[in-house]
Structure 1
Amino acid sequence: MFDTEPVPAPAGHHQNSNHVDRKIEKKTWTKKRILAIAGVVALIGLITASFALGGGGSKLNVQSERITVSEVKQGAFQEFIPVNGVIMPLTTIYLDAVEGGRVEEKLVEDGAVVRKGQPILRLSNTDLELSLVNQQTSVYNLITQMQIARNAAQQNTTTKLNQMTDVESTLKEAKRVYELNKTLYEQKAIGLQEFKQSENNYQYQLEKKKLTEQILAQDKTSNAQQVAQAQTSFRGAATALDVMKRKVGDLIVRAPVDGQLTSLEAEIGQSKNKGERLGQIDVLNGYKVRVDIDEHYLPRVFNGLQGEATLAGKTYTLTITKIYTQVANNRFQVDMRFEGAVPDGIRRGQTLQIRLALSDETQALLLPKGGFYQQSGGNWVFRVSPDGSTAYKVDVQLGRQNPDYYEVMSGLKPGDKVITSSYETYTNMQELTIKK
């Protein structure tokens, strides 16, 4: 078998008339091509959305009624902080139980105005009362003993004085006999023996008088010492008795000053220990304000710093007079006093809102406070264009602040308008279109 190859037909020769040539058309929109185009479109959309939401030069439409626009102005600025204070009396005297005891009687009710020395409470203490009785008995016994000793000393002194009188009388007689015998002896009327006997008797009586005088002087000194010692003992016992009387007297609690009795904590039948707090008396000669301040401001607070408070439409000035540097719960306290007139009708415990000034009043560029600061930290703001249709993100520097304004250091000028409401929904935007 031989393989034969087909011989091509000559030009112009047509094969079987039943065979017809057809042109094959190429498909343009293939499924693969459509998917590729869709992917490109999605990628472009994603890139566009990314720029719209957080890229450089991004924009966002905002409604004018949903934002707050404030104007930057030049004006007086004073740095101050709002603080709360509590009205307190200028002077408070605390009532403590000087002696412990049982409450027998309440003589004044809580809230009453009292006078100095007025009884407030009556306590009882049987131990103290018994001690007082014993001390009184001791003093009375001492007085009796002193009287007995004084009488004995007087009797002894009287005896000694009588003895002295006898000695002086005997001496006087011995002297007379001696002088007479001396004359008679010189005249040879008596003998030497009789004369010497009268002389010796006279010398004896002289010595006896001297001895009696010494005994009398010693007795006088001894009596004086005994009297002094007895008086010292008596004074000591009397002082102890006075102290005991005062201790018993302290069982009646009295007002130490004029004022209003507050916080009285005592009921009939209660037992109160020595030193226990019973209440307090507010001296009604003025008021002060006890203020709580954040510890952050402690280095900037000093005596003489002033603040203002408004009551019933009137503004009052207060001055710091005392600083309590102890910090508790991240706060410290100061006392402030009213300068000049004190508001009418204020009461102890009333709360007062005070604007405490931390600087003097100066001229500054002011930006009203708003929610924008929480997102920008005061480093940038949206400044509104002059026609009010657009707001652009600009860098700024803010300095001191008070509850109403920030002090503008740079980035803005008087007359500029700034969006001061919250930037929470467009923190990453660079430009805002304001729609009305």
Structure 2
Amino acid sequence: MDRVIEKKKWSSKRIMTIGAITGIVLLVGASVYYTSGNSKLNVDSERITISEVKKGPFQESIPVNGVVLPITTIYLDAAEGGRVEEKYVEDGTVMKKGQPILRLSNTDLALSLVNQETQVYNLLTQMQIAQNAAQQNTVSKLNQMTDVDNSLKEAERIYKLDKHLYEQKAIGSQEFRQAENTYNYQLQKKKLSEEILKQDSVSTRQGVTQAKQLYNGSQNALDLTRKKVGDLVVRAPVDGQLTSLDVEIGQNKNKGERLGQIDVLSGYKVRVDVDEHYISRIFTGLRGTFTFANKSYTLQIKKIFTQVTNGRFQVDMEFVGEVPQGIRRGQTLQILLALSDERQALLVPRGGFYQQTGGSWIFKVSDDGKTAYRVNNIQLGSQNTDYYEVLQGLNPGDKVITSSYENYGTMQELVLKNK
């Protein structure tokens, strides 16, 4: 008779299966447990920067670079084109007004000067000849007038005598009428001669005036040509330092071409490049500071160039008060340009955290200093080289991590460890 064999309830295979399932459940449970909370990262506290949020004086400012320039620059352009024949000084020489710098030659201009001189000489000769002819003509007219006067006087004498004799019945009317006609004729002739002499005088004056005007015009043209020839010697227009002289012996320079410049050494200004982002906030009167030889100096915006090139525009700043000793043209200054007045504000020091957060969140250190947790919805406002202005999300006395968050990824909490 066969015997019933009872099956074992807990076979090794069943135990292994249950164990495997239990392990998977525990693993999944642990994963859910750890991922359902805040993700954490251990951080060496010595490698981070912890800063305190505090109230203090704040002034919005931006760092800019400026180049020292002379307060006045006079550009030297070729008034006339020509070939460089001589250089009297070298670049960098301190010049006096009127001191020669270089000499150009221009054969066309020299020939024009000779022709102009010849023309003026010819006009002067013609004017003198015309004046002599006018004088001779006037003398001739005056001689004729003298004859007319004499003839009139003689005709008047005879007329008066014959009139008296006619009234005395000593002569006939025929003889008297002849004397009367002769007198009237000479009288009319004198009037005509006087008119001719008057017109001749006016004509002579007009001719002389026109000749003088023509001569003066030619003389002015000659003076202008002489000035052009004189301009071939380039001279310093003011006292100052010669810079950027770009000429060599034998080189041809066109009219209007830049030769160099004279920097007036009476003072300096600073030409500053500013990002176009701030163009609406820049105006004359804004001030900036810089340090030179361990001493602080102040500059003020005097002129704004609104043309934007490569995302930047320029302003000219002048010194307020003392000018640094030993400053030189072309020197670069690092300037802190103030965009607002000083005021009290809640501040957090600048740091690398801003590159990852954009100022919208930050890691705040717990009271015990062992952890730091992410604080969202903070808002930062204006900034300067040292601080960001806190508008919301943080309070005075809060301690935050301001160093870079580059390795923190999406972590919600940092565990601060000391070595």
TM-score, length of structure 2 as denominator length = 0.94
Matched, 1:271 2:252: yes
Q: Single out whichever of 35-44 and 199-208 deviates more from structure 2.
A: 35-44
- Identify if the C-alpha distance between structure 1 residues 178 and 352 changes in structure 2 by more than 3 Å, giving closer, same or farther: same
Residue in 2 that maps onto 1:113: 94
Cα deviation for residue 229 of structure 1 reads 0.8
Tell me the distance in 2 between the aligned counterparts of 1:27 and 1:78.
79
| Deviation string, structure 1 residues 96-116 (Cα, Å, up to 9, x no partner) | 001101111111211011111
Tell me the distance in 1 between the aligned counterparts of 2:269 and 2:125.
59
Cα deviation for residue 84 of structure 1 reads 0.5
Cα deviation for residue 60 of structure 1 reads 2.1
Cα deviation for residue 349 of structure 1 reads 0.7
Answer whether contact 1:390 1:434 (CA < 8 A) is retained.
yes
Tell me the distance in 2 between the aligned counterparts of 1:363 and 1:182.
124
Q: Single out whichever of 416-425 and 80-89 deviates more from structure 2.
A: 416-425
Cα deviation for residue 58 of structure 1 reads 2.3
AA paired with 2:146?
Answer: T
Q: Single out whichever of 67-76 and 193-202 deviates more from structure 2.
A: 193-202
Question: What secondary structure, in the 3-state scheme, does the structure 2 residue paired with 1:84 have?
Answer: strand
- Structure 1 residues 320-399: aligned runs within 5 Å: 320-395=301-376, 396-399=378-381
Residue in 2 that maps onto 1:420: 402
- Structure 1 residues 64-213: aligned runs within 5 Å: 64-213=45-194
* Counterpart among 283, 291, 294 of residue 310 in structure 1: 291
AA paired with 1:29?
Answer: S
- Identify if the C-alpha distance between structure 1 residues 248 and 179 changes in structure 2 by more than 3 Å, giving closer, same or farther: same
Question: What secondary structure, in the 3-state scheme, does the structure 2 residue paired with 1:199 have?
Answer: helix
Q: How many residues align?
A: 417
Larger Rg: 1
Residue in 2 that maps onto 1:262: 243
AA paired with 1:421?
Answer: S
| Deviation string, structure 1 residues 278-327 (Cα, Å, up to 9, x no partner) | 00111111111111111111111111111110111111111111111111
Residue in 2 that maps onto 1:4: none
Q: Single out whichever of 184-193 and 70-79 deviates more from structure 2.
A: 184-193
Answer whether contact 1:68 1:421 (CA < 8 A) is retained.
yes
- Identify if the C-alpha distance between structure 1 residues 240 and 412 changes in structure 2 by more than 3 Å, giving closer, same or farther: same
Question: What secondary structure, in the 3-state scheme, does the structure 2 residue paired with 1:190 have?
Answer: coil
Matched, 1:236 2:217: yes
Cα deviation for residue 194 of structure 1 reads 2.1
Tell me the distance in 2 between the aligned counterparts of 1:60 and 1:296.
38
Q: What 5-or-longer segments of structure 2 have no aligned partner?
A: none
Tell me the distance in 1 between the aligned counterparts of 2:33 and 2:62.
42
* Counterpart among 378, 390, 393 of residue 411 in structure 1: 393
Tell me the distance in 1 between the aligned counterparts of 2:30 and 2:237.
84
Residue in 1 that maps onto 2:43: 62
AA paired with 1:234?
Answer: Y
- Identify if the C-alpha distance between structure 1 residues 33 and 171 changes in structure 2 by more than 3 Å, giving closer, same or farther: farther
Question: What secondary structure, in the 3-state scheme, does the structure 2 residue paired with 1:381 have?
Answer: strand
Cα deviation for residue 39 of structure 1 reads 6.2
Matched, 1:28 2:11: yes
Answer whether contact 1:83 1:354 (CA < 8 A) is retained.
yes
TM-score, length of structure 1 as denominator length = 0.91
Residue in 2 that maps onto 1:41: 23
Tell me the distance in 1 between the aligned counterparts of 2:172 and 2:210.
57
Cα deviation for residue 387 of structure 1 reads 2.2
Residue in 2 that maps onto 1:401: 383
Tell me the distance in 2 between the aligned counterparts of 1:390 and 1:335.
50
Cα deviation for residue 49 of structure 1 reads 5.2
Q: What 5-or-longer segments of structure 1 have no aligned partner?
A: 1-14
Question: What secondary structure, in the 3-state scheme, does the structure 1 residue paired with 2:171 have?
Answer: coil
Residue in 2 that maps onto 1:430: 412
Q: Single out whichever of 248-257 and 380-389 deviates more from structure 2.
A: 380-389
Answer whether contact 1:55 1:428 (CA < 8 A) is retained.
no
Tell me the distance in 2 between the aligned counterparts of 1:347 and 1:264.
18
Cα deviation for residue 388 of structure 1 reads 1.4
Cα deviation for residue 377 of structure 1 reads 2.1
Q: Single out whichever of 349-358 and 190-199 deviates more from structure 2.
A: 190-199
Question: What secondary structure, in the 3-state scheme, does the structure 2 residue paired with 1:283 have?
Answer: strand
Q: Cα RMSD over matched residues?
A: 2.0
* Counterpart among 268, 275, 290 of residue 294 in structure 1: 275
Cα deviation for residue 218 of structure 1 reads 1.0
Matched, 1:253 2:269: no
Tell me the distance in 2 between the aligned counterparts of 1:367 and 1:310.
25
AA paired with 2:12?
Answer: W
Answer whether contact 1:153 1:223 (CA < 8 A) is retained.
yes
| Deviation string, structure 1 residues 196-255 (Cα, Å, up to 9, x no partner) | 222221121111111111111111111011111111111111111111111111111111
Q: Single out whichever of 54-63 and 254-263 deviates more from structure 2.
A: 54-63
- Identify if the C-alpha distance between structure 1 residues 27 and 359 changes in structure 2 by more than 3 Å, giving closer, same or farther: same
Tell me the distance in 1 between the aligned counterparts of 2:132 and 2:3.
177
Cα deviation for residue 361 of structure 1 reads 0.9
AA paired with 1:72?
Answer: V
| Deviation string, structure 1 residues 132-190 (Cα, Å, up to 9, x no partner) | 11111111100100100000010011011111111111111111112222222222332
Cα deviation for residue 86 of structure 1 reads 0.5
Question: What secondary structure, in the 3-state scheme, does the structure 2 residue paired with 1:139 have?
Answer: helix
Answer whether contact 1:102 1:269 (CA < 8 A) is retained.
yes
AA paired with 1:95?
Answer: L
